[in-house]
Amino acid sequence: MDVGAMTVFLYTFTEREKLYNLIELLTGARFTTSYTRIGGQTRDLPDGFLAALNQFLDEFLPQLDEVDRLLTRNPIFVDRTKDLGVISKEDAINYGITDRIFEVAGLIMMSAKQAVH
- Report how far residue 99's alpha carbon sits from residue 64's, in angstroms, rounded to the nearest whole number: 26
The answer to whether the beta carbons of residues 1 and 9 sit under 8 Å apart is: yes
Nearest Cα residue to 59 out of 6, 27, 7, 17: 17
Q: What is the mean pLDDT of the chain?
A: 78
Report whether 109 contacts 103 (CB < 8 A).
yes
Q: Is the pLDDT of residue 117 over 50?
A: no
pLDDT of the residue at 67: 85
**H-only helix segments in the chain:** 6-27, 49-71, 75-81, 89-95, 99-104
> Which pLDDT tens digit goes with each residue over 23-74?
888 888 887 767 777 777 778 889 999 999 999 999 998 888 888 888 788 8
Model-wide pTM > 0.85: no
